[in-house]
C-alpha cells in the first residue's frame, strides 16, 4: 500500500506545486491604473508603489492599499463674514484644484493621511485647512484689492496654503476666487461709483467728438468759402482786364478818329492854317511851361513844408524834453504823422500836376501833328513868345522861392534863439507857473472852516505847521520835477540870483560864471551892466 501511494503521490507533487504556484500568482497579480497608487507593504521595510503598472503581491503575507491620485476640487467658503484690512466684513467663495503629490515624499506623506479614502473624503479633510488660510489672507488685504486684483489674492492664498498642504503630501494646482460679497453693499456702491465715472468719461468723449466734428465742419465751410472767394476774385480780375483792354482799344480808336478829324479840318480850313498853327503851338508851349512851373512850385512847397516841419519838430522836441520825456515821444509821433500827411499831399499834388500835363500833351498832340508840317515859318515867333512866358514864370518862381527861403530862415533863427534861451526859458516858465502852483497848493487851506489849536508841541506852533505845509509841498513839487526831467531847477534859480551874479568870479568879457547861455543871447548891453 505504501509502495502504491509512493508510486502515485511522488510523481504528482510537481504538478500540485505548479497548481499552487499558479493560484498564488493568479491571486497576487495586481495592476494599478494611472489615477491611483497601489501600495504593497508587509515583507519589506519600504513599501512598493505601483502607478499605472502591474506587480505581484504575496497573499496572506503582503497588504495592498489604494491611494487616489486624480484631481480633486475643494470648495473654499468663509462660513462667517471675515473682516478685511479696512475692517469691512466680506464673504468669499473660492474653488481650489488639488491632487496628491507624485513625488516619493508626497506619496509617503499622503499614504499616512489619505490611504484608501475616497476623493470626497480627502476634499473634506482639506477644506478646513484651506478655509483658514484664505481667512488669514483676507485679513491682510483691503476690499478694493480683493475685488480689483483677484489673481494676486488667489496667488497669496495658494502660497499660504502650500506650506500646510506640503506637510500632507498635497499639491495645489490652482485657486480661483468665485464670488466676493459684503453685508453692507459696499461693493455695489463701488460699482455704482465706477459706473458714474464711466458715464462721465463717455459724456466727455462724446462732447469732444462733437467738438471735433464742429471744428471739421467749420474748416470745411472755411475751405468752401475760400474757394468761392478765389473764384469770384479771378472772375473780377478777368472782367477788369477786359475793361482795360476795351479802354485801350477805345483810346486807339479815338486817336485815329482825332487824327482823321484834324486832317479833315486842315483840308477844310487851309486859309486859317497859319493862325491855328500858331495858336496851337502857343497853347502847347504855355501848357508845357505851366506844367513845369507847377512842378517847380510843388517841389518848392514840399521843401518849404519839410523845412518848416523839421524846424518846428526840433523846437517842439526840445521844449517837450525839458518838460517831460513821455510828452516828447507823443509830439514826435504827431510831427512825423503831420510830415507824412504833408508829404502824401505833396505827392498827390505832384501826381495830379503830372497827370494834367500828360492829359494836356495828349490833347494837343493830335493838333500839333496836323499843324507842325506847315508851322515852321511861325514857330520862331511862337518860341520867342514862349521864351518871354518862361522868363516871367521863372521870375515868379524865383520870387516864391525867395519868400519861402526867407520864412524858413526866420523859423531857423527862431529855433536857434530858443536853443540859446534854455535856462532863461525854463526860468520864465517856472516864474509864470509859480503863482498858479502856489494857488493850487493853497486851495485846500481855503476850504478849512475852523482850526482848533491845542498846543504846538515839539514841532512848534500848530498854525505854523498848517501854513508852512504850502512851502513844503512846493519844495516837494520842484524836487519831483527835477527827478523826472533831470533838470536841477534850484541850481538854475540860484544861478540867476543877485548874490550869485555879484559874489562869483567875473570873466574878462564881464559875464559872471553863474550866468546861463540865455543871458549871453540877450546882447552886449546886459553884459556891460554885469
pLDDT score for 311? 77
How many other CB atoms are found less than 10 A from the CB of residue 490? 12
pLDDT score for 211? 85
What gap in Å lies between CA 350 and CA 363, rounded to an integer? Answer: 20
pLDDT score for 429? 67
pLDDT score for 274? 77
Bridge-partner residues for 235, per DSSP?
A: none
Measuring CA to CA, which residue among 392, 247, 347 is closest to residue 355? 347
Please list the alpha-helical segments (H only) found in 269-324: 273-323
DSSP code for 56: E
DSSP SS3 for 40? strand
Measuring CA to CA, which residue among 160, 181, 189 is closest to residue 93? 181
pLDDT score for 257? 83
Contact by Cβ (8 Å): 42, 63: yes
Measuring CA to CA, which residue among 368, 496, 381, 371 is closest to residue 431? 496
pLDDT score for 99? 92
Rounded to two decimals, the pTM is 0.34
H helix or E strand, kind and range, residue 169 = none
Local mean pLDDT, 10-residue blocks, the chain (530 residues) = 53 64 72 88 83 82 88 88 86 91 88 89 90 88 83 87 89 88 76 66 82 87 88 89 87 83 77 78 83 82 78 72 71 80 78 76 70 64 69 75 74 63 61 69 65 56 59 71 66 63 48 42 38
How many other CB atoms are found less than 10 A from the CB of residue 514? 19
Distances (CA, A) of 175 to 95, 133, 141, 358, 453: 6, 12, 17, 107, 99
Amino acid at each position: 500500500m505504501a509502495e502504491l501511494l509512493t508510486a502515485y503521490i511522488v510523481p504528482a507533487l510537481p504538478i500540485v506545486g505548479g497548481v499552487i504556484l499558479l493560484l498564488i500568482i493568479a491571486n497576487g497579480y495586481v495592476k494599478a491604473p494611472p489615477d491611483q497608487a497601489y501600495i504593497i507593504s508587509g515583507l519589506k521595510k519600504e513599501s512598493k508603489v505601483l502607478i499605472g503598472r502591474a506587480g505581484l503581491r504575496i497573499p496572506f503575507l503582503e497588504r495592498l492599499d489604494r491611494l487616489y491620485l486624480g484631481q480633486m476640487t475643494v470648495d473654499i467658503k468663509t462660513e462667517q463674514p471675515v473682516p478685511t484690512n479696512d475692517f469691512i466684513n466680506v464673504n468669499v467663495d473660492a474653488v481650489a484644484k488639488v491632487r496628491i503629490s507624485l513625488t516619493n515624499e508626497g506619496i509617503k506623506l499622503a499614504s499616512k493621511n489619505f490611504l484608501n479614502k475616497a476623493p470626497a473624503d480627502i476634499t473634506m479633510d482639506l477644506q478646513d485647512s484651506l478655509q483658514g488660510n484664505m481667512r488669514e489672507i483676507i485679513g491682510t488685504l483691503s476690499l478694493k484689492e480683493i475685488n480689483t486684483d483677484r489673481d494676486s489674492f488667489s496667488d497669496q492664498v495658494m502660497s499660504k496654503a502650500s506650506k500646510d498642504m506640503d506637510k500632507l503630501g498635497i499639491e495645489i494646482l490652482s485657486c480661483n476666487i468665485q464670488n466676493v460679497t459684503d453685508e453692507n453693499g459696499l461693493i455695489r456702491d463701488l460699482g455704482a461709483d465706477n459706473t458714474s465715472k464711466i458715464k462721465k468719461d463717455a459724456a466727455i468723449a462724446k462732447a469732444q467728438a462733437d467738438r471735433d466734428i464742429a471744428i471739421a465742419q467749420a474748416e470745411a465751410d472755411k475751405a468752401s468759402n475760400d474757394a468761392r472767394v478765389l473764384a469770384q476774385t479771378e472772375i473780377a480780375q478777368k472782367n477788369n482786364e477786359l475793361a482795360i483792354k476795351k479802354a485801350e482799344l477805345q483810346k486807339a480808336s479815338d486817336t485815329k478818329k482825332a487824327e482823321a478829324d484834324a486832317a479833315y479840318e486842315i483840308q477844310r480850313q487851309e486859309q486859317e492854317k497859319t493862325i491855328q498853327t500858331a495858336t496851337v503851338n502857343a497853347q502847347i508851349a504855355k501848357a508845357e511851361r505851366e506844367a513845369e512851373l507847377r512842378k517847380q512850385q510843388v517841389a518848392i512847397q514840399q521843401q518849404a513844408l519839410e523845412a518848416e516841419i523839421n524846424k518846428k519838430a526840433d523846437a517842439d522836441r526840445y521844449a517837450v524834453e525839458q518838460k517831460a520825456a513821455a510828452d516828447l515821444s507823443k509830439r514826435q509821433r504827431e510831427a512825423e504823422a503831420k510830415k507824412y500827411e504833408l508829404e502824401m499831399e505833396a505827392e498827390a499834388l505832384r501826381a495830379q500836376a503830372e497827370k494834367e500835363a500828360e492829359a494836356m500833351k495828349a490833347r494837343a498832340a493830335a493838333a500839333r501833328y496836323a499843324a507842325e508840317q506847315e508851322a515852321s515859318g511861325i514857330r520862331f515867333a511862337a518860341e520867342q513868345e514862349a521864351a518871354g512866358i518862361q522868363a516871367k514864370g521863372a521870375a515868379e518862381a524865383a520870387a516864391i522861392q525867395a519868400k519861402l527861403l526867407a520864412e524858413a530862415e526866420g523859423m531857423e533863427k527862431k529855433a536857434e534863439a530858443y536853443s540859446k534861451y534854455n535856462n532863461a526859458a525854463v526860468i520864465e516858465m517856472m516864474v509864470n507857473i509859480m503863482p498858479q502852483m502856489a494857488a493850487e497848493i493853497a486851495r485846500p487851506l481855503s476850504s478849512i472852516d475852523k482850526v482848533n489849536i491845542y498846543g504846538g508841541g515839539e514841532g512848534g506852533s500848530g498854525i505854523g505847521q498848517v501854513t508852512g505845509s504850502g512851502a513844503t509841498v512846493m519844495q516837494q513839487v520842484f524836487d519831483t520835477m527835477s527827478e523826472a526831467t533831470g533838470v536841477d531847477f534850484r541850481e538854475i534859480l540860484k544861478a540867476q540870483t543877485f548874490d550869485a551874479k555879484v559874489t562869483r568870479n567875473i570873466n574878462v568879457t564881464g559875464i559872471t560864471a553863474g550866468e546861463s547861455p540865455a543871458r549871453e543871447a540877450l546882447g552886449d548891453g546886459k553884459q556891460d551892466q554885469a
